[in-house]
Amino acid sequence: MIIFFSFGKKNICLINRSLSLLWALLCSLPVFSQYYNLGQDPASVHWRTIKTDNFRLIYPEAYEKKAQELTGLFEYVYIHGTKTLGHQPRFVPVVIHTSDIIPNAYSVWTPKRLELYTCTPQNTYSQNWMEQLVIHEFRHAVQMDMLNKGFTKGLTWVFGEHATAAVSGLFVPMWFMEGDAVCTETALSHSGRGRVPSFEMDLRAQVIQKGIYSYDKAVFGSYRDFIPDQYSLGYQIVSLTRKNFGYKSWISAMDVVGRKPFLINPFNVGLKKVTGMNKTELYKASLKELDSLWKEQASKTILSPCTRITRVKGNEYTRYKFPHYLNDSLWIAERTGLNDISRFVIIDKSGNEKILFTPGFFSSENFSVNSGSATSSNKPGSSAVDCFSLSESYMTWTERDADPRWQNRNYSVIKVFEYNTGKIRKLTHKSRYFAPALSPSGKTLVAVSVDLQDKASLIELDFNTGKEIRVLFESGKDFIMNPSWSPSGEWIVFMLLNQHGKQIQLINTITLERKTVLPPTFSEISNPTFAGNYILFNGSYSGIENIYALDTTGSGVFQVTSSAFGSCNGQYNHNRRKLVYSEYDANGYSLVETDFDPARWISLENIKDNSHSVYNAIVKEETGMVDSTAYSGKTYESKAYHKGSHLFNFHSWAPAYFNYLTSESNTGVSFMSQNLLSTATTIIGYEWDLADKTGKYNVSFKWEGWYPVLDVDASYGKGAGYHTEDEGTETRYTWDETRISGGFKIPLLFNHGRFYSGIQLLAHTSYLGVSNNTRTDTIGFEGNIHSLDYRIYLSNFLKQGQKDLYPGWGQVLDFNFRHSPLGDRSYGYIGSAEAILLFPGLMRHHSIRCYAGVQQKEKKDYFYADLINIPRGYHPVVNSQALSFGINYKFPFLYPDMAIGPLFYFKRFKANLFYDHFVYKEAGQSSFLNSTGVEISTDMHILRFLLPFDLGWRMGYRFEDKKAFADMLFSINLSI
């Protein structure tokens, strides 16, 4: 791994420095923007394509109608989404995925394309999901393409598309990329995250209650404190800069990056031309201005009274969401935070908690509770949470159920928890249901179903079987969200989203009559529930998210809560006339309770928005807003997209040999191809060995479009070596070498509740052919060696928290066998079995990792390298049998959040205590190797580079020769 340091602005050896910089980055970071493979759709999908002057859309054929609308939307956004960066990008491919229930999108540049996942989420804001997605992701395409100018354009002639990606990753802050895109989605639409109070809530609470963090901490994060994401931070900086200096300040910054990436910090140079500040100074100035604006807003906010239920230890960031009453003194909520994964917990009036169970990976946030009969005993010395019992009580929620093979197909299934038995059952299978709500009778439930065309339906299901009873309501244009039952079961309230914004509707479960009780609005509203004659919902009318009440008798809308930073998801207790809800501050969401007293509520007509609403300034800089009536209606020519004729898409190249499929790099030249569906990857190159003065041609191909993944590697060229004559002179000899290897693997991934498991089956073969060997003695080899490999890899892990070094629990079994039954020479065989077990340590985030491995080896003309671990501090030893064992105790011990200028930022220090044992047998003689020691390492950022480095030292002791040893540890975390 190579790190590039700039020492000055002189242009000495400018081209060589830049080429070295880019190539070092590209060789080191193959996953960061380069060669990003997001997974595959099922092989059964038939694809179609629409091509315009500016875009090519590739989509499943069943999505034809929606694809036509999307094409019009892209063309419309192409006109209006480019002004404030002063650039219109060249042709952009777009891949549409409809089988994934996780709403998302990616702008990827090697190869260049946008990838959109179409399933609308239940917590989306008051704008069409695909409109927001297209505006945001297209803006990323504009950002990346505008860098392709000046010196960067010259680099693309040498390196292809990954030159632009490398320049962006090195010099353009992620907060700008995401903040600028959020600005655009906000300014070009009636909604967008910049208009939603909860979007700025995290940062606002942090600034007011904990102060302004250092630039490095705000940008690179912390394991000690919760840090608002780069979307929120970036939006505030970018929008305020546009308000104070105009949008051309960002054009200047990006222009200098593209034209002069060889400068020490080109982004700062361009930014200073307009604002007079570099990015760090601009961050401080922006946050200082926000601090003033937000404190002014806070001074005008009159807080409503409430009683806190949950207690946070110290400053641990914890979120309690979606509370429900179990009885008058017990609540259930979903709890998560920096120190733990998501749990469902029971909480009593004194704030005592008990984990009820740990769910899997949510596919929608909401969950439903039918509390039945909940009682608590008065056992002396025990809390209510330890002495409660429930009968005929259930919970329902939805979890993501992954397809084991196809990463771009998964499901949203309904889960049920039974309180009296403690059992969890999967109610539906291979479904796309969201936001389930139990009926008061407990016999049925209602959920939102979303099909592959993103059409939503309100479905009633049988609680015992999960079968659909009837469709209550379906719509091809309006999206259905957040259903909830009335106490009588006669009505269901839900949100409806369309081009006019969000509205609240009721549907009668007997007559299926629908009526609108809150007209459409672009103000953010969500999660309606019944409370007597009222419907409670989350609303943003005051510029802060609060709970509002809609009087179903027709007397209007009222603000129920007034919180400093935000409150949401109220639940009503009829017996006590109380309201429980989640209230936010800098330490997360707490559960609070207040009186249900309509006399204290404030009418909507008297609510004033005191937020600074910076989006009003950026709207004025744009040319107009996206309106569905402006782009719909036109029909574009579509054609079948044949996968077989689109296997190759050469996007990058280099004046060096680099094969990221086989992790090889050397002098030479290489060409990289990845098709747009990410099913075929090809690397062609010529590798030149400077030391041996020999070269060979290489080709690698990987096919992931079928259930088994196929791969093949081939090379042909010269090899060279030296042998010593009797007189002591060295003689060089050469040979012709042909290598061919290939095979298949079946990688399967399953998630079941809080665990995720994997199975990988592999069969591989390799061929080595040697001819024209110029070595004349008997050692010179001509002929071929044929090797066969087999592997079975099994894994099972508990989902991991943000601060965990390893999953809390985990198991791995790995079986390998290699042999060479064919050919002129033989490696014999080697078989191995390995196991890894993970356990929780003595304290939170501590982990115990146990390893064991055994292998048997037969040596023939040659022999295989060891497959099991060698103790740290030792070199491999010749053996025929071996047994390996190791134990590690790893733990964090310091979270400094400390920066040393712009050079280093230290986030976490951690230690690992280890002991390794190895016993092996050779020629009938048994021997032992043992070592122990400690590894000290730190998670850090160097030179404000986006990806974190893991840097440290290993210090150990070898028992056999009684000597100490030391090694440097170094890696880069590519999983951010």
Q: For residues 231 and 105, what is the distance between their CA atoms, to the nearest angstrom?
A: 14
Q: pLDDT of 795-851, one tens digit each?
A: 999 999 999 999 999 999 999 999 999 888 888 999 999 999 999 999 999 999 999
C-alpha dist (Å) from residue 223 to 212, 393, 908: 17, 38, 7
Structure tokens at 804: 């965990």
- Cα torsion 475, 480, 485, 488: sign: negative
DSSP state, 303?
Answer: P
Could you tell me the CA-to-CA distances from 170 to 142, 470, 601, 804, 902 in Å, in that order?
A: 18, 55, 52, 28, 14
Q: Name the average pLDDT for the chain.
A: 91
CA distance 129 to 139: 16
Does residue 59 have a pLDDT over 90?
A: yes
**Averaged over 368-390, what is the pLDDT?**
64
Q: What is the pLDDT of residues 238-289, one digit of tens each?
A: 999 999 999 999 999 999 999 999 999 999 999 999 999 999 999 999 999 9
d(CA 795, CA 806): 14
| pLDDT the model gives residue 21 | 41
Give how far the C-alpha of residue 314 lies from the chain's centroid of Cα atoms, to the nearest Å.
29
pLDDT of residue 29: 41
Predicted local confidence at residue 18, as pLDDT: 39
> Would the pTM count as exceeding 0.95?
no
The pLDDT tens digits for 506-528 are: 999 999 999 999 999 999 999 99
Amino acid at 391: S
pLDDT of residue 25: 45
Q: What is the pLDDT of residues 706-740, one digit of tens each?
A: 999 999 999 999 988 888 776 667 888 899 999 99
- Can you tell me which residue has the tokens 């390998």? 816
pLDDT value for 382: 59
Number of CB atoms found within 10 A of residue 51's CB: 17
Q: What average pLDDT score do residues 389-411 get?
A: 90
Asked if residue 15 has pLDDT above 80, the reply is no
CA 400, 401, 406 angle in degrees (round to 5)?
A: 115
- Compute the half-sphere exposure of residue 99: CA atoms within 13 Å on the CB side of its CA: 22
Q: Over range 107-132, report the average pLDDT.
A: 93
- The Cα–Cα gap between 333 and 761 comes to 41
- 686 pLDDT band (50/70/90 cuts)? very high
Answer whether residue 33 shows pLDDT above 70.
no
Per-residue pLDDT of 932-967, as tens digits, reads: 999 999 999 999 988 899 999 999 999 999 999 999
Question: Is residue 26 pLDDT above 70, yes or no?
Answer: no
For residue 868, pLDDT beyond 80: yes
Range 849-857 average pLDDT? 97
Query: Is the Cβ–Cβ distance between 431 and 411 less than 8 Å?
Result: yes
Q: Give, for 29, the enclosing helix (H) or strand (E).
A: none
Identify the bridge partners of residue 731 per DSSP, sorted by sequence position: 723
- At 169-214, the pLDDT tens digits run 899 999 999 999 999 999 999 989 999 999 999 999 999 999 999 9
Share of the chain above pLDDT 70, in %: 93
Statement: residue 855 has pLDDT above 60: yes
Judging by DSSP bridges, how do beta strands 318-325 and 588-595 pair with one another? parallel
Residues 92-115: pLDDT tens digits?
Answer: 999 999 999 999 999 998 899 999
